[in-house]
Amino acid sequence: MYVTSQTTLPAEISCDWRALQAQLLSQWDRLTARELDNTMHNRRQIALLVEHKYGVHYRLVENYLRNFERTMPMAA
């Protein structure tokens, strides 16, 4: 089957990025601020980074991030 385009793209992080980044860095100490910045606030890219560093499947991390975002302040 030939697919011409992807219909849904992963969403960007919707909460305050600096607050979330601080939480992620404290929780996952193998990540660096530079690596997180390189994800361009993309939930899928962050999840893939965590999968690479920790071996947690990216879909589980995406779900975790979505749930976690709900508890964080909204982006300005």
The series of mean pLDDT values per 10 residues for the chain, 76 residues long, is 46 87 94 96 96 97 92 76
Report pLDDT for 8: 54
Paired tokens of 69: 């975002």
Report pLDDT for 13: 86
Paired tokens of 13: 């992080």
The Cα–Cα gap between 4 and 43 comes to 23
Report pLDDT for 14: 83
Report pLDDT for 65: 94
Q: Are 65 and 43 in contact (CB under 8 A)?
A: yes
Report pLDDT for 23: 93
* 12 beta partners: 42
Q: Are 44 and 6 in contact (CB under 8 A)?
A: no
- Please name the residue that has the structure tokens 């499947």: 57
